[in-house]
Amino acid sequence: MDKYSILRDLIQFNTVFDAQNKSIMEYCDAYLTKLGFKTNYVIDDDTHKLCLVAVAGTNAELGFVCHTDTVPLGNNWQDYDAMDLTIDGDKLVGLGISDMKGGMAAVLSAVGNFDWKLPKKGLKLYFTFDEENNFTGIKTIVAKEKEIPQNIIIPTPTSLYPVVATKGLLKLSVMISGKEVHSSNPTKGINAIEQCVAFLGEVYNFNNRIREDKNNSFELPYTTFNLGKMQGGIAMNRVPGECSAYLEYRTIKPDHNRQIIEKIKELAEKYNGFVTIIDNVLPMSTFAENFISRLEELTGNKRSSVAVVSDGNYLEDQSVVLLGPGPVTSGEKNEFISKFSYETLIEMYTKLLKETCF
């Protein structure tokens, strides 16, 4: 099948919030089965959404992990049809084409260049869902699948740079409890918003200390913090009895996750608060020198690091490299990748598959 036909087909599936999860998995299943892959579905127990695992040969040392969902349509599509492929000069335009239907189409196009009935070394392909929100798909794969290959490529957009490290993600909610009374006599109450402000002051002091620990491979070489949302109070004439704060950290070291959780719990207790850990994802780092060096040779680009979190953060026992097309325009107006990066990526994947599996 033509590489642009595959890309168009993938874009035409509506996988915002995995709306056509079953349909896109069945498409990949049919395509790969014809090439000689054996396939099976891995089903999430709660959502009943599907992951697809495709296997060719045995003793696979290499695998690809592709997520099939995209960001919502939003208001970014006045000039092109978001649900179809548009070729505009060197631009390939469509919803999810950067993250990551372009990379996924490149994987399918590259494997389509071979007969997979008798490879010398095996290959495994994983197609997940819900990467844009809660990573439910990759969590399901990790929980249920055994013998995941040691070397994994994730074709997320990287502008053809092999990304060998990503930051971790820590999301926390903190509920501070006070005492609600009428504002005519605030001395009888405890203002939860004021307590939360004091709590956050100490959080920022702690953040300044942890920022002193650096990892210069990242553009922002320290653990970053975002106060994403606050809620508190019910009326102007009431002393607020509750206030909640939602905190997000992008961490540079696994130990930072632990330090932050311990400190936030300590401070929350001081201000009569309760902490809920929404997400705790460790940073990803890959040290497989031979694997990384070969990808540097193929791309002509040196290894790099990014702040994003991907399915790769959950593959703690594997050597994961992010390597996909560019530029990185996911979530932007008229999302696109370049025709050059797409075709180059297919060529690089094809070379890698030939030398690894045949």
Residues 152, 231 within the same domain: no
Tens-level pLDDT at each residue, the chain (358 residues): 899 999 999 999 999 999 999 999 999 999 999 999 999 999 999 999 999 999 999 999 999 999 999 999 877 788 899 999 999 999 999 999 999 999 999 999 999 999 999 899 999 999 999 999 999 999 999 999 999 999 999 999 999 999 999 999 999 999 999 999 999 999 999 999 999 999 999 999 999 999 999 999 999 999 999 999 999 999 999 999 999 999 999 999 999 999 999 999 999 999 999 999 999 999 999 999 999 999 999 999 999 999 999 999 999 999 999 999 999 999 898 999 999 999 999 999 999 999 999 9
Which pair of tokens denotes residue 14? 């509506």
- pLDDT tens digit sequence for 51-93: 999 999 999 999 999 999 999 987 778 889 999 999 999 999 9
List the domain range (segments joined by +) for residue 205: 168-281
Residues 137, 274 within the same domain: no
Any idea what the CATH number is for the domain that residue 273 is in? 3.30.70.360
Residues 141, 192 within the same domain: no
Instruction: Answer with the one of 229, 259, 281 that is the final residue of a domain.
Output: 281
Residue from 79, 14, 23, 6 nearest 335 by CA: 79
The number of folded domains in the chain is 2
Residues 178, 38 within the same domain: no
Which pair of tokens denotes residue 80? 């092109």
Write down the pTM of the prediction: 0.92
| Summary mean pLDDT of the chain | 97
Tokens 């690091």, residue? 305
Q: Is the peptide bond before 327 cis (omega within 30 degrees of 0)?
A: yes
Helix (H, G, I), strand (E, B) or coil at 335: coil
Rg (CA), the chain: 23
Residues 96, 115 within the same domain: yes
- pLDDT tens digit sequence for 242-290: 999 999 999 999 999 999 999 999 999 999 999 999 999 999 999 999 9
Helix (H, G, I), strand (E, B) or coil at 123: strand
Q: What phi and psi values does residue 271 have, to the nearest 5 degrees?
A: -110, 25
